[in-house]
Amino acid sequence: MPDSHDPWYIVRNAASLATPALLVYSDRLDGNIRLAMEIAGGAARLRPHVKTHKSAAIVDHMRAAGITRFKCATIAEAEMLGRCEAPDVMLAFPLVGENARRFGRLCRAYPRTRFSAIADSAEGARELSAAFVAAGVRVPVALDVDVGMHRTGIAAGEAAVAVYRLLATLPGLMPGGLHCYDGHNHAPSLEARTAIAAGCHETALSLKGTLNGLGLEVPLIVMGGSPGFPCYAPFSDVELSAGTCYLQDWGNQRAFPDLAFQPAAVVMSRVVSRPGPGRVTIDCGSKGIASDPPGERGLPLNLRDARTILHSEEHWVIESPDADNLPIGSEVYIVPTHICPTFALYAAVGVVPSSGIVRESWPVTARDRSIGI
């Protein structure tokens, strides 16, 4: 076991690891899963978004905790979930062209998983219908409702009702409920985020009421990302589709301190140069940690008051009062600002158990755009 004075992130056998390395702290991951279940009142209302990690091993951890429903953004992620025999998978990205046809083939290939899709237009619904008929499958399709982000989705109203009617009548489809992602809700205070979430929920409920009044079934409502997770938890009719919180990155931790999730993924880097007083260069450029959003790429845990001087493809020059105390070869541990695209930079992640000794790695299974179909 690590010494009691060691920070939580220290890896005991760090000398044996090549850098940059993305590490997942399994006890913290499991703790975040438990916290999500506590907030939701159980596993049944959780639909974690796997685009954060794209890892079958993390899906297995979630399934072991009792989670059966998942959300994803790519066909590769959906196929990964099919291989994991996840019971219920929503692919929450508009599928057109060959991707619609691929998804039809995927649904046929993994009959133990109940797949669903989304649509926000008549054209999209008809394209899915043709693909599913060709594949010989019938698939639930949720209406993607724009509740304020204006990225995809259709505003609640007569046009939305018309598209939902199509989902109930086109061959190969069945109405799959409402998908309402509030990616615009980044209010810093929990009170403000809760007020915005309540408005989004009211929009969804009103649309559901209209559809039910027309005799149309609305079997589920999927809402929210990590910032709004606790805001939607009191609404028992909503499935909670957060993803980032299970690994918790610096961006969310800094912006939403009310979220009690702990960082569970860290990039370990090494000092490769000391270009001047108070500065170090580490081997974690933009190919080792996500370069979005603008600003600092992450929080170096063992460099106080760190400030980026330069960040290029393989180099990161950092200024810090602690820089002169780190010899060449010293490890630097960083919580990424944005964990989701950071995961996609790695073929595998090291697993850090409570012993602090890395003995295994987990493949980032769905990192590629296709893993079979």
Residues 30 and 130 occupy one common structural domain: yes
Same domain (yes/no): 221, 330: no
Q: What is the mean pLDDT of residues 175-190?
A: 97
Task: Reply yes or no on whether the pLDDT at 293 is more than 60.
Answer: yes
Assess whether 193 and 165 both reside in one domain: yes
302 and 236 belong to one structural domain: no
Whether residue 166 is predicted with pLDDT greater than 90 in this model: the reply is yes
pLDDT for residue 6: 78
| Residue 195's CATH number | 3.20.20.10
pLDDT above 90: residue 333 = yes
* Mean predicted confidence (pLDDT) in 73-82: 98
CA dist 197 → 28, 38, 50, 184, 261 (Å): 28, 19, 22, 10, 20
319: enclosing H helix or E strand: strand 316-319
Coil vs helix vs strand at 210: helix
Q: Are residues 205 and 348 in the same domain?
A: no
**Which domain, by its residues, includes 164?**
26-246
> Is there a single domain that holds both residue 38 and residue 143?
yes
Is the pLDDT at 152 greater than 90? The verdict is yes
* Same domain assignment for residues 270 and 306: yes
Residues 226-254, mean pLDDT to the nearest whole number = 97
**What is the pLDDT confidence band of residue 2, given thresholds at 50, 70 and 90?**
very low
Does 4 map to a domain? no
Across all residues in the chain, what is the average pLDDT? 97
Residue 328: pLDDT band with limits 50, 70, 90: very high
Q: What is 212-261 written as a DSSP string? A: HHTT-----EEE--STTHHHHTT-TT-EE---GGGT--HHHHHH-TT--P
**Same domain, yes or no: 82 and 212:** yes
Instruction: Calculate the CA dihedral of residues 92, 96, 99, 100 and round it to 10 degrees.
Output: 80
Give yes or no: residues 319 and 227 share one domain: no
Of 203, 224, 246, at which residue does a domain stop?
Answer: 246
Q: Residue 5: pLDDT above 90?
A: no
Regarding whether 108 and 50 lie in a shared domain, the answer is: yes
Query: How far apart are the C-alpha atoms of 358 and 14, rounded to whole Å?
Result: 8
Q: Residue 4's pLDDT is what?
A: 45
pTM across the whole model: 0.96
Say what percent of the chain tops pLDDT 90: 98
Q: Sign of torsion, CA 279 283 285 290?
A: negative
* Res 1 pLDDT > 50: no
Question: 246, 278, 303: which is the final residue of a domain?
Answer: 246
CATH number at residue 340: 2.40.37.20
Q: What is the Cα–Cα distance from 244 to 39, expressed in whole angstroms?
A: 15
Same domain, 128 and 274: no
> Do 144 and 197 reside in the same domain of the chain?
yes
Helices (H), 84-121: 98-109
Handedness of CA 207, 210, 212, 215 (dihedral sign): negative
Domain count, the chain: 2
333 vs 356: CA distance, rounded Å? 14
